[in-house]
Structure 1
Amino acid sequence: MKVFSVFFFLLATVVAASHGSQDSSDSSCLSWRFAVEANNIRGWKTVPKECEKYVGHYMLGYQYRKDSKAVTDEAWRYVNSLKLPRDGRNIWIFDVDETSISHVPFFSKHGFGTEPINKTLAYEWVNKSKAPALPESLELYRKLLSLGIKVVFLTGRDEEWRKVSATNLKNVGYHTWEQLILRASSYPTNATVESFKSNEKRKLEEIYGYRIIGNIGDQWADIQGIHRGNRTFKLPNPMYYAP
């Protein structure tokens, strides 16, 4: 599966490059994406239809990978600047979807976020456990482990997806973790991602006694709220919004 992950991203880059550079008419979509990533546009349901081509070029091309690498490189510089106590309590929190693994293969067949997500088709895709790793995140994960920092995966997926989530993560190279936290069936269905993750991070610190050194995700909801950690890092994702 590691080979598949690398192959997919290399193939995607070649395909995008073969379509040439983006048209100047895409400038308004670039501005839309910038506003989304800066969290100035919130609560949006779908990508503007006229931006499907732009978002597709971005996600399959060089820039998405470069932007992701800029984030993970900065995360690595940050952690290398720290003098951490070696007491086994240092953890780094990774979101799962569009952070540790990528659903670009799915969204490339469904309008790159311009269409409302078909839950039936999305669940079929997730159930295959074939989402490739985001290479930059996987590299950061390995580096953190080499420093003795433990990894916690914290996802808004429901508990029923534990097995397929663990399988997918292991298949693409995430072989070990301290905890894999999913949303329990008893958790209020109307709770936001931010409130759920904030509460779980609170428990990690107050109940389990961990020290959250860093926290990385593709949604602002992943990195906002209380108990967010010593430093947060936002990966790009213009395909969907989670409050």
Structure 2
Amino acid sequence: MIKPQIPLLLISFFTLLIMLPKSTSARLHPRRDGTPPSSSSGGGDGKFCLSWRLGVEANNVVAWGTVPRECQEEVESYMIDGQYEEDLDLVMQQIFSFLNSIPLSFDSFDAWVLDVDDTCLSNLYYYKTKRFGCEPYDPVGFRAWASKGGSPAISPVLQLFNKLLEKGFKVFLVTGRDQETLGQATINNLHNQGFIGYQRLILRSGEYKGQSAVRYKSDIRQKLEKEGYRIWGNVGDQWSDLRGNSTGNRTFKLPNPMYFVP
């Protein structure tokens, strides 16, 4: 009996199928040191950048200094083409659902904590000049930007802020901005954007200089609890806003793939 011969072209096709998953997997994953694959090695495609952004939001990718250069277009598109707003709206739906379930007391000690930068106020215009986070953090440049007081309100958070006040909650705005250099500019910016009626704006004072955001904000929340406040909700765009001690009954992470605050 004459055995049928498999055409050489078909053999090459099946060989390619066997090899493809391995090469694709290598292309999508960062190097062992945590950095993304370089453009010359085939990195920077949309799938890697989507995975990187998910890892950032889930706090699985930590201690990163800048957005991978391959992902600038992905982050830019995410922030300005509508998906950021969609994700933000989903988080806000969860916040309002929780808010409406809280049995408010009558002692005026029910409280919420809100971060300021990229929670209450947007710095998107500033980060556009930094290639949406691809350039290293520039404290001098950011201070110059913040001192102008031109950061617009993030509209859904302003709505939340007003709803909290309407229901009778005490709202504390806690920010890592320096009290000495940015205190008045921050107050003016918040007021100009409609954040009026909060219980207290807390900025980083000298005693917290050099401390991590986690330690600083934990200490502030602990002090609020010692004053008798019950923190029902804690909202921020960084995991360092939400980790540590006295985090509140529930925490809510707003999307922000442009920078990481430890």
Question: TM-score, normalization: structure 2?
Answer: 0.81
* 1:80 corresponds to which of 73, 77, 100: 100
* 2:183 corresponds to which of 146, 162, 174: 162
Contact 2:115 2:175 in 1 (8 A): yes
Contact 2:165 2:197 in 1 (8 A): no
In the other structure, the counterpart of 1:44 is: 64
Asked if 1:173 corresponds to 2:194, the answer is yes
Asked if 1:61 corresponds to 2:88, the answer is no
In the other structure, the counterpart of 2:248 is: 229
Shift, 1:187, TM fit? 2.0
- The AA in structure 1 aligned to 2:189 is N
Output the CA distance in 2 between the equivalents of 1:134 and 1:238.
Answer: 16
Shift, 1:145, TM fit? 1.1
Output the CA distance in 2 between the equivalents of 1:137 and 1:181.
Answer: 18
In the other structure, the counterpart of 2:20 is: none
In the other structure, the counterpart of 2:141 is: 121
Shift, 1:122, TM fit? 1.4
In the other structure, the counterpart of 1:3 is: none
Shift, 1:176, TM fit? 1.6
* 1:70 corresponds to which of 85, 90, 115: 90
Contact 2:45 2:70 in 1 (8 A): no
Output the CA distance in 2 between the equivalents of 1:240 and 1:115.
Answer: 10
Output the CA distance in 2 between the equivalents of 1:69 and 1:86.
Answer: 30
Output the CA distance in 1 between the equivalents of 2:156 and 2:209.
Answer: 33
In the other structure, the counterpart of 1:21 is: none
Shift, 1:110, TM fit? 1.4
Query: In terms of Rg, which structure is larger?
Result: 2
In the other structure, the counterpart of 2:225 is: 205
* 1:139 corresponds to which of 159, 184, 195: 159
Q: Deviations over 1:46-96 (max 9, x none)?
A: 000011111011111211011111111111100101212121101110000
Shift, 1:200, TM fit? 0.5
- The AA in structure 2 aligned to 1:236 is P
Specify the SS of the correspondent of 1:154. Answer: strand
C-alpha RMSD of the superposition: 1.2
Output the CA distance in 1 between the equivalents of 2:101 and 2:167.
Answer: 12
In the other structure, the counterpart of 2:34 is: none
Output the CA distance in 2 between the equivalents of 1:33 and 1:201.
Answer: 29
Specify the SS of the correspondent of 2:194. Answer: coil
- Number of corresponding residues: 218
Output the CA distance in 1 between the equivalents of 2:223 and 2:107.
Answer: 19
Shift, 1:119, TM fit? 2.4
Q: Deviations over 1:145-170 (max 9, x none)?
A: 11011110001111111111111111
Output the CA distance in 2 between the equivalents of 1:188 and 1:168.
Answer: 23
In the other structure, the counterpart of 1:218 is: 237
* 1:99 corresponds to which of 108, 111, 119: 119
Output the CA distance in 2 between the equivalents of 1:187 and 1:152.
Answer: 18
Does 1 or 2 have the higher relative contact order (CA < 8 Å, sep 6+)? Answer: 1
Specify the SS of the correspondent of 2:173. Answer: strand
Give every structure 1 segment of 4 or more consecutive aligned residues whose post-TM-superposition deviation is greater than 6 Å. none
Output the CA distance in 1 between the equivalents of 2:209 and 2:124.
Answer: 29
Output the CA distance in 1 between the equivalents of 2:142 and 2:183.
Answer: 16
Output the CA distance in 2 between the equivalents of 1:119 and 1:201.
Answer: 25
In the other structure, the counterpart of 2:109 is: 89
In the other structure, the counterpart of 1:17 is: none
* Structure 1: segments with no counterpart, 5+ residues: 1-23
* 2:214 corresponds to which of 185, 190, 194: 194
